[in-house]
Amino acid sequence: MQRSASRLSRILACAAVPVMLVAAGCSSGSDSGDKGSGSSDGASKSASAAPKPTPTKTVEAARFAKLPDVCKSVSAKTTASLVPKAKAKNGTTAESSDAGSRGGCSWNGLEDKGVKGSQYRWLDVSFYRYESDATLGSGQERAADNFAKELAKVQGTQGAKNLKTMTAGGVGDEANTVTYQLRKTDEDFTYASVVARTGNVVVLLSYNGAGYAGADAPSAKSITDGALKAAKEAVAAVAVANK
């Protein structure tokens, strides 16, 4: 009996060992698997939740940072020749709420030639500068868009006769001259408008004239030549102001 009891104890002890090992092994495998699964899910969620960087749009910097003094953009010698009897020799400044972005100046006068009648002349120059903007485009692109719009406005002048548009070479990056005749105050006026762009600046220049008291109207050539001369000086003044 004693031998049988001792033998039975040894058998039960040996049988218990693998059961414990298997239990321990199952428990360890289960824990390892749970941790691995949890770690993978967390990394996946973290990766999907991370915000994607938004690419920043860059635009070309505006070429010119400021405008010239508009009334000095055309030389005194030129304004005196184009408008001989100007009421204000130094020009009349147009009001502007933002002188850094837009400005204008004009000269006008009536030259009395006695029995030959009188000659009236008007010269006007305006500048529009555009900044670069990530949503609107570079200053150059914006100026190019507005160059086209301003040219279309001049070409759409109501009552204009014999309207012609010509490319003006050597005036900024792009330029056009628009010539036409217009009847005003019972007189025939001859007009030449130059629409030009230099970098991010649009230059609008208009020169016109008429003969009074029997005087002949000025020729289209003289008005056009005068407008182009003044426009070249105005465009050049932009670069000089930004040196």
Q: Can you give the residue ranges of every domain in the chain?
A: 1-50, 70-241
Contact 235, 61 (CB under 8 A): no
Residue 122: in which H helix or E strand, if any? Answer: strand 118-129
Question: Is the Cα torsion angle 159, 161, 165, 170 positive or negative in sign?
Answer: negative
Per-residue tens of pLDDT for the chain, all 243 residues: 444 445 445 544 444 444 443 334 434 444 444 444 444 555 555 555 556 665 567 899 999 999 999 999 999 999 999 999 999 999 999 999 999 999 999 999 999 989 889 999 999 999 999 999 999 999 999 999 999 999 999 999 999 999 999 999 999 999 999 999 999 988 999 999 999 999 999 999 999 999 999 999 999 999 999 999 999 999 999 999 999
Return phi, psi of residue 50, to 5°: -65, 125
Q: What pTM was estimated for this model as a whole?
A: 0.76
Laid out side by side, the sheet with 161-167 consists of 92-93, 102-112, 118-129, 201-212, 187-198, 174-184, 161-167
Architecture of the domain made up of 70-241: 3-Layer(aba) Sandwich (3.40)
